[in-house]
C-alpha cells in the first residue's frame, strides 16, 4: 500500500522526530498536538524541544511543505499515536492520553487506514485503543471484530531510541512490529520501511508491548544493582567508580554506572506496567524499582550531612535533566533532589541546567538558576546530578575548597 499522507499524534520527544524523518522521505506529514505552543512553533519551522539536528530537519520539512502541525486530527492513510503513558496513583498505568487520541482520530478514519500505537504501553493497550475507536466508528470494522478482513488495520511499534541520538537511532535501530493480525503487522512494516534501515521484525501486538517493557525493565534491574553497590561502597569506604572499572575487566561482567536514581519516561515508568500486570510474579522488577526510587533520598541525606559543616551552606545542583545533554525533565531524579533540597535550604540552592531557560514550576521562588561559573564561585557544596558536557570541563582546581558530592563519577570520582 502507498501511504500518501501520514499523521503523527503527539509531537513530543518521539512524535516530532518521527514526523520529521517521514517528511524527510518526502511524505506528506500532518502532526497533531493539543499543545498550541508546540503547533505554532513547528509551523514556524522551529522546535520546542532539545534534540541534536532536529531543528534543521524540521525547518527543512516545513519550508519544503512536507510537514505541518495542527491541533485537530485530519484524514490520512496512516496514523501513528505517540502520546504520553504516565502512571497514576499507586503506579497504575494511565491510558487517558491514548484513549483521548483514539477517540480524536476515529472520526476521520476511512476504510483501509492503518493506526499504529507507538506509545510505550502495558500489555493489552493496543487492543483497548482499537476498542475505543470501534466505539466511535460502528460503521467501520476493526481487527477484534473482523480479523484479517477488517476495514482498519491496527499495530503496535514501540520506539527504542536514546535521547540525544534519536534521529540516528530512528533510522538505524531494528523495530519490533506487533500487528493485531498478521496483515496488520505487514502493513505497518511497509510503513516503517520507508525510513528504517534496521530490520523490521513482526510479532503480535501483545508481545511487542511486552518487548518494550522488558527492554526497559532489564536496564532498570541492572542500574539498580549499580546503585545498590554505590550505597554499599559508601558504607565500606570504597570508591565505587574504581570498583566497577576493575570488576568490568572480567570478560563476562558489564556493570552499569550508578547515578542519583533513574529518570525519563521509559525506564522509570515501564517496569511498573509489568508489576501492575503481574504483581505476584514481578518480584525482582519491583525490588529494582524500589532501589532506584530510593536513591534520591540517599543523595539528599549525603548533602544534608555535608551541609552541616557550614553555618549558611550554599548548595549548587549541577543538572536537572534525567540524562546528559538534553532538556527532558520527565521523572528526573535530579529534579526531585533539587526540589527537596530547595525546600530544606530555602534561598541557598543554586541550579545549573544549560539546556533550559527558566526553572520548572516546582523550583520557582525556591532556588536560583545560574551559570556554571557563578555556581562554582558561590557554592560550598557542589552536587553533580547529571553528566552534561560542560560539567566535564570543570578545572579540578576550582573544587579544592568545596565539598563535592558526585553522583555521576564526573568530578570527584565519588
Q: How many domains does the chain have?
A: 2
Both 261 and 194 in one domain: the answer is: no
Residue 325 lies in a domain: yes
Both 142 and 266 in one domain: the answer is: no
Domain interval for residue 341: 251-406
**Predicted local confidence at residue 414, as pLDDT:** 43
> Rounded mean pLDDT of 230-241?
96
Size of the chain in residues:
414
Residue where a domain terminates, one of 154, 179, 198? 198
Both 185 and 274 in one domain: the answer is: no
> Rounded mean pLDDT of 215-238?
97
Residue 181 lies in a domain: yes
Q: pLDDT tens digits, residue range 353-401?
A: 999 999 999 999 999 999 999 999 999 999 999 999 999 999 989 998 8
Question: How far from the centroid of its chain's Cα atoms is residue 157's Cα?
Answer: 16
Using DSSP's 3-state secondary structure scheme, residue 31 falls into strand
Both 137 and 268 in one domain: the answer is: no
Residue 350 lies in a domain: yes
> Rounded mean pLDDT of 217-226?
98
Residue where a domain terminates, one of 153, 178, 198? 198
> Rounded mean pLDDT of 187-215?
97
Q: Are 263 and 331 in contact (CB under 8 A)?
A: yes
Both 13 and 102 in one domain: the answer is: yes
Count of Cβ atoms closer than 10 Å to residue 340 Cβ: 18
Nearest Cα neighbor of 146 from 181, 119, 170 is: 181
**Annotation marks residue 212 as catalytic:** yes
Q: What's the pTM?
A: 0.91
The active-site residue out of 27, 157, 212, 317 is 212
Cβ neighbours for 235, distance < 8 A, ≥ 6 positions apart: none
Both 73 and 193 in one domain: the answer is: yes
Half-sphere exposure of 177 (CA within 13 A, CB side): 30
> Rounded mean pLDDT of 319-338?
94
**Percentage of the chain lying above the pLDDT 90 cut:** 92
Ranking 78-92, 218-232, 243-257 by mean pLDDT, the lowest is: 78-92
Using DSSP's 3-state secondary structure scheme, residue 22 falls into helix
Q: pLDDT tens digits, residue range 129-149?
A: 999 999 999 999 999 999 999
Residue 246 lies in a domain: no
Q: Inform me whether the pLDDT recorded for 125 exceeds 80.
A: yes
Both 83 and 159 in one domain: the answer is: yes
Both 81 and 182 in one domain: the answer is: yes
Both 153 and 301 in one domain: the answer is: no
Band (pLDDT 50/70/90 cuts) for residue 412 is low
Residue 232 lies in a domain: no
Q: Which comes out higher in pLDDT, residue 164 or 233?
A: 233
Count of Cβ atoms closer than 10 Å to residue 358 Cβ: 9
Both 152 and 272 in one domain: the answer is: no
Both 9 and 158 in one domain: the answer is: yes
**Predicted local confidence at residue 2, as pLDDT:** 80
Band (pLDDT 50/70/90 cuts) for residue 226 is very high
Residue 160 lies in a domain: yes
Q: pLDDT tens digits, residue range 312-321?
A: 999 999 999 9
Q: Are 11 and 36 in contact (CB under 8 A)?
A: no
Residue 44 lies in a domain: yes
**Annotation marks residue 27 as catalytic:** no
Both 300 and 168 in one domain: the answer is: no
**Predicted local confidence at residue 411, as pLDDT:** 73
CATH assignment at residue 327: 3.40.50.720
Residue 244 lies in a domain: no
The active-site residue out of 266, 317, 323, 366 is 266
Amino acid at each position: 500500500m502507498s501511504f500518501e499522507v501520514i499523521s503523527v499524534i503527539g509531537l513530543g520527544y518521539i512524535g516530532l522526530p518521527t514526523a520529521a524523518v517521514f517528511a524527510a522521505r518526502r511524505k506528506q506529514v500532518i502532526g497533531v498536538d493539543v499543545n498550541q505552543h508546540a503547533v505554532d512553533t513547528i509551523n514556524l519551522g522551529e522546535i520546542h524541544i532539545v534534540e541534536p539536528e532536529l531543528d534543521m530537519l524540521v525547518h527543512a520539512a516545513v519550508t519544503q511543505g512536507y510537514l505541518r502541525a495542527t491541533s485537530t486530527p485530519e484524514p490520512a492513510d496512516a496514523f501513528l499515536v505517540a502520546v504520553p503513558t504516565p502512571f497514576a496513583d499507586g503506579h497504575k498505568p494511565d491510558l487517558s492520553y491514548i484513549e483521548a487520541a483514539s477517540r480524536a482520530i476515529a472520526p476521520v478514519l476511512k476504510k483501509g487506514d492503518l493506526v499504529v500505537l507507538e506509545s510505550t504501553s502495558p500489555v493489552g493497550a493496543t487492543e483497548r485503543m482499537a476498542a475505543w475507536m470501534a466505539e466511535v466508528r460502528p460503521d467501520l470494522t476493526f481487527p477484534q471484530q473482523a480479523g484479517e478482513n477488517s476495514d482498519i488495520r491496527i499495530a503496535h511499534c514501540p520506539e527504542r531510541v536514546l535521547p540525544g541520538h534519536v534521529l540516528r537511532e530512528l533510522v538505524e535501530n531494528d523495530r519490533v512490529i506487533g500487528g493485531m493480525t498478521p496483515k496488520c503487522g505487514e502493513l505497518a512494516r511497509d510503513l516503517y520501511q520507508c525510513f528504517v534501515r534496521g530490520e523490521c521484525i513482526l510479532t503480535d501486538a501483545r508481545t511487542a508491548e511486552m518487548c518494550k517493557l522488558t527492554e526497559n525493565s532489564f536496564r532498570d534491574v541492572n542500574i539498580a544493582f549499580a546503585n545498590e553497590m554505590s550505597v554499599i561502597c559508601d558504607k565500606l569506604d570504597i570508591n565505587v567508580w574504581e570498583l566497577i572499572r576493575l570488576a568490568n575487566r572480567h570478560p563476562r561482567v558489564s556493570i552499569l554506572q550508578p547515578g542519583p536514581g533513574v529518570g525519563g519516561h521509559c525506564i522509570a515508568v515501564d517496569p511498573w506496567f509489568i508489576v501492575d500486570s503481574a504483581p505476584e510474579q514481578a518480584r525482582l522488577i519491583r525490588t529494582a524499582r524500589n532501589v532506584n526510587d530510593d536513591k534520591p533520598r540517599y543523595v539528599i541525606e549525603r548533602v544534608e550531612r555535608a551541609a552541616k559543616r557550614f553555618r549558611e551552606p550554599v548548595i549548587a545542583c549541577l543538572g536537572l535533566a534525567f540524562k546528559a545533554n538534553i532538556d527532558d525533565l520527565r521523572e528526573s531524579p535530579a529534579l526531585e533532589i533539587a526540589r527537596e533540597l530547595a525546600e530544606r535550604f530555602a534561598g541557598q540552592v543554586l541550579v545549573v541546567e544549560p539546556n533550559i531557560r527558566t526553572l520548572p514550576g516546582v523550583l520557582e521562588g525556591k532556588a536560583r538558576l545560574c551559570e556554571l561559573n557563578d555556581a562554582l564561585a558561590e557554592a560550598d557544596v557542589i552536587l553533580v546530578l547529571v553528566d552534561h558536557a560542560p560539567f566535564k570541563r570543570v578545572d579540578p582546581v576550582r573544587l579544592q575548597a568545596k565539598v563535592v558530592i558526585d553522583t555521576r563519577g564526573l568530578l570527584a570520582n565519588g
